[in-house]
Amino acid sequence: MRILYLILLCILSLLTSAQSASAQGAIDSRGKDFWLTFMPNFHTNTGRDTLYIYIAASKATTGVISYTSRGGAATQTPFSITDSTQIYTFKVPWNNYELIGFMQSNTINQNNQVQVNARQTFHVTSDEEVSVYALSQAVTTSDAFLVLPTDALGSEYFVMSYNSDGTTTNGQTTSGGSTPSQFSIIATEDNTDIHINPTAPTYRSGMNPIDITLMKGEVYLVQAAIAANYLGAI
């Protein structure tokens, strides 16, 4: 089954002040501070589908995974890696920590989190440098990505994606497997001002520019509108 929405290679995060690559030195995927979120996936087996975070280290280290549920409950899980040949695995149920899109497994969800400030983010910190990977496991739409550390982030991004797949009737989105293109933004600092210039209609704002402010740890989900002239092949 074709995956019909955008999964970013890294979670889009913004800093209030950008640093040049020369000032930061060499940029790589290892670090001590990471932010990530899980965008809406297509779920058909709610009992099995799970969100995973994998942490790899070249030397022994300890750290903490801090995360917030859909209901706002904050949790901290300490981790320890004593053997660098072993990967630490962390998992939580998808339905309490994944962002809610306007299309949820064939159903239009009016109680969605599209273009609202949400708190379903994960913050990984460690004493030594580590690499962080994440996986949203579903029966036919599992998606994995590499998470870049905070010190490797910038302040300007382009989102490249396929047209949304889906069905429309009389110009209105209908259910039946519709999966819009999407991206999410996490603020790593308080009072992060964000400007978005859409090149395709978004679910709530159409082609209008979007200006928002996020506090540290907040995430903002944008999904494309499923419109007849912006559909991909099924």
Q: Is 155 a member of any domain?
A: yes
Q: Which residues of the chain have pLDDT under 50?
A: 1-24, 233-234
Domain holding 214, by residue range, is 30-230
**Residue 169: its pLDDT value, please?**
65
Residue 58 domain-assigned (yes or no):
yes
The answer as to whether 11 is a domain residue is: no
What is the tally of structural domains in the chain? 1
Predicted pLDDT at 168: 62
- Kindly state whether residue 23 falls inside one of the protein's structural domains: no
- So what's the pLDDT on residue 182? 92
Question: Does a structural domain hold residue 118?
Answer: yes
**Which one, of 2, 26, 23, 31, lies nearest residue 13 by Cα?**
31
**For position 102, what pLDDT does the model report?**
87
Amino acid 164: pLDDT = 74
Q: What is the pLDDT of residue 52?
A: 98
Does 24 reside within a domain?
no
In a domain, 130, yes or no: yes
Note whether residue 5 is domain-resident: no
